[in-house]
Structures are given as structure tokens and as C-alpha cells.
């Protein structure tokens, strides 16, 4: 047994699941053992450097404590802060949440935003999450669409025996300015950090809402986005906008949305042309100026391309063109996978195939920018004095081969070694 495995076994058995204190606020295991983390190469935003850290009270310190309970030999491993996924739906109910914990942790993903959660449902299982051995999740406090809007179409397909009226109870329906006033008190009462607004091909809003084939696949009236953003900002709530076409992206940016939920070009909708997904230079400049954050979700295109492989070249050329101009303009990009069965690692590897963002920047987006977007108050995303003692160690250098991200060799969350998805 290696010393690493010994330390691992010791802590796994010493810290049974669920016996670990809650850390919804990222507090970590205050009474956990004092650890010495020896011999690792630590990511500093550019490269990996030799360093030695200690863990005291679930946090990193450079100062040796009086008593060290155990030494973790990192033996030249490459160490990253944990990854985040800013866009998923894999922990929106108790059964998917319980499955998603291991899936994410074993991929080194500790932080997740759930983009269309129903607050009443979430309150039933939220206590499972935000612990040193589970996933830290931020939920949208409302997911707002039109009465004929996405995700109704998907819900009707999945549950054909349920009426649209019942299905719509899963999110918030807004068709008019008066509706905003009606639903707002209920949303504000939950004091959410984030809400999500849904736009789908808003340039054809008037036409599509009268097209019965589009029933369930539309989005909000684009003229309601600015009033909704204004209402949310008055209450200190950040706004994510689900965007499909380039026109949706423009509506969201000019309305002052904080975050764009999808980079346009992950699919081509019915009756739309590839050119409808090319974001204008002026909108890109505006997004950079306003510091609008863009969730990538590029890899979700693979589902569309499975059905329409003949669109691969043109679709990817649009993704590359949008991404390159956003990246060159200095727009804030974050990793969002939107892959129910996948993780942030799948998104990173797909982004890599597009060849726009250098590996170092992809890693920085995943381990620093995205965690900071989801949990701005927490000391995560960097190895520094007082930061949460959360890390993922790899046997090879992920900067030179991103597929290394698929096989962590050690996972520590807030000072606890986790016995999950480890490859030797």
C-alpha cells in the first residue's frame, strides 16, 4: 500500500458519509485533521509550481501547525482547484441530485449551477448538497418562460399524459408586464441569487407564437426582458438569459442581463439559417464593455449533430467564429455544459476541439472564473492562504493533455479526502 493510499484509507474510514458537518457556506470541516500536503505541483493560473501547503480547519495555510495529524504525499502530482459547471440540470430533483453527486465529484467538479430549478422541489432535498462530501449547488430561484415557451415542449414530449397547465407549474409563466408584477413578490420572497429568463428565436416571436408547430418551443416576449432585468436588479438578483439565436443574444446583452446561458450556434432551429446564429461585432463589443458573462455550452451541439451530422462543419464554423470574436474582445467566458449525463470536463474537451481558447485559459475558466461566478463570496478557485482546502490531483499535466481531467488520482474537498472515481 502506498503512503498515499494509506492516508486515503485512513481518512475515508475516519470520516463516514453524512457524519461530516454541513458546509452550505463553504465552511469546511473545522474539526478535521491537520494535514501536510507534501510534494505536489500546484497550478498558479499559468503553470504548475512546487509548493507545500497545510490544511487546518478545512482551509489551506502555508504555516506549519503545531501538530500535523497526517501527511499526504502528493508525489509530483499536478494539482488544480476543483472545476465548476455553470449550466446543468442534473441536480434539480432528489433522484438526479443523488446520482449527480458522484458523477460530478469523480470528474473533479465540485460546484454547479442548476438552471431551471423549481424552488419548492429544491427545498425538499437541498440539505443533501453543499457538504464536504457532496456537490455545492446554486439554484435559479425562478425559471421564467412564456405560456407557450420552452421547456413546455420538452415536458409535453416526456410526459404526454400530463396537461400543459400542470406541466407549467414547474416554472414561472410570464406573458405580459402585468404578469411580472403578479409573480414578482413570490420570486423575491425566496431571495434567490439567480433567476433565468428564456428567449428562443425572439426575432420571430410574433410569427412563431401563432405557429401551432412551435407551441411549447417559444420563449418570452423580448420586450419583457429589460423590465424583468430591471426588476431583478432592484432586488440584487442576477439574471441569466437562455439564448438560442444571435438576435436573442443581442436582446439579452442590451437589456443588461448579467449572464448569457448559451453561446448561439449549438443547434439550428426549424426555419432558421446558419447566419441567424452569428453574433454581430457590435453586440460582441457591447457584451465585453458591459462585462456580460457568457456560458459556453458548445458541447451540447453533439446531440443536435447526432441527428444532423451533415450540419457539423457549418455549425462548428459558427461556434468558432462567435467564440473567437468574444475571446478576442475580452468577454467573460465560463464553462457551462448543459449536459445532463455529462460534466464540465465534456464541455472543456469539446471547446478544445474548436481550437479557439488555449488550454491554460480553458483551465482557468473551469477552476477559477466559473467557481467565482457561482459562489462570489467564497474563497475558492485559487490556492492561497485561507482558501478552502479543495483540490484535484492528477498523475499527468492537464495543461499538455486535457483528457487527463477525466482521471483524477486524488480528490479533496474542504480538507476531506474523497473515495470517489479515483484512478491510480
Smallest separation, CB 113 to Zn ion (Å): 10
C-alpha cell at 64: 506549519
Which residue has the closest beta carbon to Zn ion?
A: 338
Q: Which stretch binds Zn ion (CB under 5 A): 7-15, 55-63, 336-344, 408-416?
A: 336-344
Query: Closest Cα partner for 340 from 115, 136, 140?
Result: 115
Whole-angstrom Cα distance, residue 278 to residue 218?
20
* Residue (297 or 316) nearer to Zn ion, CB: 297
H runs (alpha helix) in 308-385: 312-328, 344-354, 359-364, 370-374
Q: Which residues pair with 84 in a beta bridge?
A: 111
* Residue (20 or 239) nearer to Zn ion, CB: 239
For residue 34, give the 3-state DSSP assignment. Answer: coil
- CB 236, CB 163: distance < 8 Å: no
* Residue (12 or 304) nearer to Zn ion, CB: 304
Whole-angstrom Cα distance, residue 54 to residue 64?
6
Smallest separation, CB 121 to Zn ion (Å): 17
Helix then strand then coil, in percent of the chain rounded to 5, is 40, 20, 40
Smallest separation, CB 153 to Zn ion (Å): 14
Site string for Zn ion, 170-209 (x = CB under 5 A): ----------------------------------------
* Residue (33 or 261) nearer to Zn ion, CB: 261
* Residue (302 or 378) nearer to Zn ion, CB: 302
Smallest separation, CB 244 to Zn ion (Å): 11
346 near Zn ion, judged by CB under 5 A: no
C-alpha cell at 14: 475516519
Smallest separation, CB 88 to Zn ion (Å): 7
Binders of Zn ion in range 79-138 (CB under 5 A): 115
CB under 8 Å to 87, separation ≥6 — which residues?
113, 115, 261, 262, 295, 297, 336, 337, 338
* Residue (90 or 338) nearer to Zn ion, CB: 338
Q: Which residues pair with 293 in a beta bridge?
A: 259, 332
C-alpha cell at 293: 458573462
* Residue (115 or 197) nearer to Zn ion, CB: 115
- CB 302, CB 350: distance < 8 Å: yes
Using CB under 5 A, which of 148, 338, 369, 388 touches Zn ion? Answer: 338
Q: Which stretch binds Zn ion (CB under 5 A): 133-141, 307-315, 331-339, 388-396?
A: 331-339
Smallest separation, CB 388 to Zn ion (Å): 27
* Residue (244 or 388) nearer to Zn ion, CB: 244
- CB 394, CB 388: distance < 8 Å: no
Question: By rule CB under 5 A, what count of residues binds Zn ion?
Answer: 2
Q: Work out the angle at residue 352's Cα, subtended by the Cα atoms of residues 44 and 340, and round it to the nearest 5 degrees.
A: 95
Smallest separation, CB 115 to Zn ion (Å): 5
C-alpha cell at 79: 494539482
Smallest separation, CB 300 to Zn ion (Å): 8
**Binding residues vs Zn ion (CB under 5 A):** 115, 338
Amino acid at each position: 500500500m502506498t503512503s498515499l493510499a494509506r492516508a486515503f484509507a485512513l481518512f475515508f474510514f475516519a470520516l463516514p458519509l453524512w457524519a461530516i458537518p454541513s458546509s452550505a457556506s463553504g465552511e469546511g470541516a473545522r474539526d478535521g485533521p491537520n494535514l501536510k500536503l507534501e510534494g505536489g505541483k500546484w497550478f498558479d493560473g499559468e503553470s504548475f509550481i512546487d509548493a507545500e501547503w497545510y490544511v487546518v480547519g478545512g482551509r489551506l495555510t502555508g504555516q506549519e501547525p503545531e501538530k500535523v495529524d497526517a501527511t499526504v504525499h502528493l508525489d509530483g502530482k499536478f494539482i488544480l482547484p476543483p472545476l465548476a459547471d455553470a449550466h446543468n440540470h442534473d441536480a434539480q430533483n432528489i433522484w438526479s441530485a443523488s446520482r449527480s453527486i458522484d458523477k460530478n465529484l469523480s470528474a473533479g467538479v465540485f460546484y454547479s449551477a442548476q438552471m431551471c430549478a423549481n424552488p419548492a422541489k429544491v427545498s425538499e432535498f437541498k440539505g443533501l448538497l453543499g457538504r464536504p462530501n457532496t456537490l455545492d449547488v446554486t439554484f435559479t430561484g425562478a425559471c421564467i418562460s412564456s405560456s407557450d415557451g420552452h421547456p413546455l415542449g420538452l415536458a409535453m414530449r416526456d410526459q404526454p399524459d400530463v396537461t400543459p397547465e400542470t406541466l407549467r407549474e414547474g416554472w414561472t409563466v410570464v406573458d405580459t408586464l402585468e404578469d411580472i408584477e403578479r409573480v414578482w413578490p413570490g420570486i423575491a420572497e425566496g431571495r434567490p441569487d439567480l433567476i433565468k429568463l428564456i428567449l428562443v428565436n425572439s426575432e420571430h416571436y410574433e410569427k412563431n407564437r401563432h405557429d401551432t408547430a412551435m407551441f411549447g418551443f417559444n420563449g418570452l416576449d423580448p420586450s419583457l426582458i429589460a423590465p424583468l432585468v430591471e426588476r431583478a436588479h432592484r432586488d440584487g438578483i442576477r439574471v441569466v438569459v437562455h439564448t438560442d439565436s444571435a438576435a436573442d443574444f443581442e436582446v439579452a446583452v442590451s437589456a443588461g442581463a448579467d449572464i448569457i446561458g448559451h453561446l448561439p450556434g449549438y443547434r439550428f432551429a426549424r426555419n432558421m439559417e446558419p447566419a441567424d446564429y452569428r453574433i454581430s461585432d457590435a453586440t460582441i463589443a457591447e457584451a465585453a464593455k458591459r462585462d456580460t458573462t457568457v456560458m459556453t455550452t458548445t458541447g451540447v451541439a453533439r446531440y443536435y449533430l447526432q441527428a444532423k451530422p451533415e450540419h457539423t462543419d457549418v455549425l462548428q464554423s459558427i461556434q468558432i467564429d462567435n467564440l473567437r470574436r468574444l475571446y478576442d474582445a475580452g468577454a467573460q467566458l465560463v464553462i457551462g455544459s448543459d449536459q445532463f449525463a455529462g460534466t464540465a470536463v465534456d464541455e472543456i474537451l469539446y471547446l478544445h476541439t474548436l481550437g479557439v481558447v488555449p488550454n491554460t485559459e480553458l483551465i482557468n475558466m473551469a477552476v477559477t472564473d466559473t467557481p467565482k461566478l457561482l459562489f462570489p463570496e467564497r474563497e475558492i478557485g485559487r490556492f492561497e492562504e485561507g482558501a478552502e482546502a479543495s483540490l484535484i490531483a492528477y498523475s499527468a499535466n492537464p495543461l499538455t493533455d486535457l483528457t487527463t481531467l477525466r482521471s483524477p488520482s486524488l480528490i479533496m474537498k474542504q480538507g476531506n479526502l474523497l473515495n470517489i472515481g479515483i484512478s491510480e
